[in-house]
Chains A and B, each alone.
Chain A
């Protein structure tokens, strides 16, 4: 059992610079949790507080039921993989991996056994005698992971471990990490700002912004039920489109976009209290269609057409704002072509423009 619990955790740097604010999080045993969010939102700070590398200025962190606020990193039984790998350059791969075990006074046979086992899992057995500078980026990454797993810690922490790798290697390592987690069955907290990593790796995703947790949910729930405009825009690629407008009462409650290109009739019960307030409509690229004969049809002119083979990303404008749609490929989609396109009203998201919070 090794769950991690954060209670009202906050971090203020040097008494004034607030990085993290009242984070509440329960990470279950063997769970793979991702922290995502834009740069500077406090992901690393949160992770480092769990690691013990950063003092916890507010709140409490429990690992395995034990309050760890005042426990130094070495006694928390956790391992961390750093973005720049942080291997010890003066030690061989073997020594790098064995370092933590040696400090913990493991007997030599045990160390050999653990290191060889980890090296096998990561297929770096042939590299054990090398120094880090004789390794490629991907190999260094593996060694860094190896150094973490030999200790069999309660919790693994990863801080953007793949961001220094090239695109192809990143995809490969991502798959390997997923497999590794399955194999090792250890609790993992993983920081990334790559939302593909977030969607594919985790059991649950924590979306952060400006030091505040926006939403914690499974990847699919985040995608389908974002609580606010920020989460909606952050999860999904290409990102959700946003069209600004307001609610009017003119022959029934309607959403009209700023330049009246879009007119969407709405449910009175939900929206009557928003009459005359500014509302943002969100719609994902895949919820446009050129086949459906449903309502909400508009004529648009294609600006850019990206043929991907199995699908096409068609760019156009509504109300002068750029929109991306994801359609089934067709020969007639060309730059400048006029197309009738419909919006799937079952997949509309409405947000209060001012606060960004979702209207359900």
Chain B
């Protein structure tokens, strides 16, 4: 009986996995079909022969290299700065003694209830005054520090015993050295988690880059892709090729880091 149940569950899981995977598979295979071939009836799941022409066109004529580069620079930049600043903020809130610490943190937390859309206009104007519109900083700067990131790191840093920091002080470490050589390595799982969140969030973001990047040279992949879809409505295969290029890097990053990522999410749930 238990065995039957196990197989039933397994079957269900496989079924859901296939359903989820199918569109993805189709996206990849359609991107290799010649123009128009994906819309024939009966629909084909695999291309009859691989056609790389869409990729060639994307990279040569449609300037996708530039967009890909934009996306990479912006996402890496945002991830780097957010890890750097949030980890410092979270560590300070968890381990430093300073006056009004708790009330300051609560105040920051309370700002989380403000929806992002509300702040878009003021932030845009702010960036415009700073002359950052149409630069990479327009996307990197607003995401550099986030309450969520600080909160995540702070909760994790609580689990680091004070005596470890004190031991480092006795060993002769400066505050910066403690942060770099003790706190950061110990926070690795949570840093990977936060880094992944930030990277994927920035990479996939559509609305904000659309607002701040008016120069087509500064488009990120999702924005470029949207443009592509309005210009080449009929060319499904071309769009799919663009989608593949957009999705694959995040996928690689996620798969490469998932080991740590899961560890990060589970961390702290069980006290050792």
Contacts and interface: CB of A to CB of B under 8 A. Distances in A.
B182 interface: yes
A147 interface: yes
Contacts of A151: 171
Contacts of B172: 74, 100, 103-104
Interface string A85-108: 011111000000001100110000
Nearest to B97: A14
A289 interface: no
Interface in A32-85: 51-53, 72-74, 78-80, 82-84
A304 B226 CA distance: 89
B173 interface: yes
Nearest to B188: A90
Contacts of B168: 88, 99
A220 B170 CA distance: 33
Given A74-B174, A103-B171, A82 B185 contact: no
Contacts of B182: 88
Given A89-B186, A90-B185, A74 B173 contact: yes
Given A89-B186, A90-B185, A90-B186, A103 B173 contact: yes
A151 B168 CA distance: 13
A290 B39 CA distance: 109
Interface string B32-52: 000000000000000000000
A80 B166 CA distance: 9
B104 to A, nearest CB: 17
Contact of A51 (B161, B170, B185): B170
A285 to B, nearest CB: 38
A103 B172 CA distance: 6
A82 B166 contact: yes
A82 B163 contact: yes
Nearest to A74: B172
B169 A73 contact: yes
B167 interface: yes
Interface in B166-204: 166-174, 177, 181-182, 185-186, 188
Contacts of B181: 99
Interface string B113-128: 0000000000000000
Contact of B170 (A74, A84, A89): A74
Nearest to A52: B169
A53 B166 contact: yes
A86 B173 contact: no
Contact of B167 (A82, A90, A104): A82
Contact of B169 (A74, A89, A90): A74
B164 interface: yes
A53 B162 CA distance: 11
Interface in A242-274: none
22 contacts: A51-B170, A74-B171, A74-B173, A74-B174, A78-B170, A79-B170, A80-B167, A82-B167, A88-B164, A88-B167, A88-B168, A88-B186, A90-B186, A99-B171, A99-B173, A99-B181, A100-B170, A100-B172, A103-B173, A103-B177, A147-B171, A151-B171
Interface of B: 161, 163-164, 166-174, 177, 181-182, 185-186, 188
Interface of A: 51-53, 72-74, 78-80, 82-84, 86-90, 99-100, 103-104, 147, 151
8 interchain residue pairs of minimum CB distance: A100-B171, A86-B163, A74-B172, A86-B167, A82-B163, A103-B172, A90-B185, A73-B169
Given A51-B170, A73-B169, A86-B166, 5 more contacts: A53-B169, A82-B163, A82-B166, A87-B167, A88-B164
